[in-house]
Amino acid sequence: MMGDEHKTPAEDDADDRVFKALAAPVRRRMLDALKESPLTTGALCAAFPEIDRTTVLQHLRVLEAAELVAGRKVGRERVLTLSPLPIKRIHDRWIGEYARAAVDLLARLDASAPTQNGAGSSTVKTGSVRSGSTM
């Protein structure tokens, strides 16, 4: 696997927690809400009226375990903020490397493709049907 040679078990566990947290649509929606601005725990619960407070707090614990959300006390309230570094780590490790591999593959395919001008190419014509022929 690309980039695995330098991964520690702790880094793999952290990645697993992020993937688990991102697997649930409601948790992704919670992250979207926090992306707009920090929210108190109460405001986050209010943003999801279809879910009871206990369930929102359970989802919040999963997000905090994955270090995707950080909470800090401000007076009597707890303010939640998005922590984008775990998502960036996932992007850099998985999406970035796979995107580079895909771009490299497309570049190699493009370089080996026959030219359009027909000079020295072995372009195959497809889709032409002679008049009067049956299919």
The structure tokens listed for 41 are 């725990």
Q: How far apart are CA 62 and CA 78, in angstroms?
A: 17
Residue 66 counted as domain residue? yes
Q: How far apart are CA 29 and CA 33, in angstroms?
A: 6
Sheet with 39-40: strands ordered across = 39-40, 77-82, 69-74
Q: Which residue has the tokens 């395919």?
A: 109
DSSP 31-71: HHHHHHS-EEHHHHHHT-TTS-HHHHHHHHHHHHHTTSEEE
Residue stretches of the chain with pLDDT short of 50: 1-3, 120-135
Residue 107 counted as domain residue? no
Q: What is the pTM of this model?
A: 0.67
Domain span including residue 76: 7-86
Query: Tens digits of per-residue pLDDT, 71-86?
Result: 999 999 999 999 989 9
Taking all residues of the chain, what is their mean pLDDT, rounded to a whole number? 83
CATH of the domain at 38: 1.10.10.10
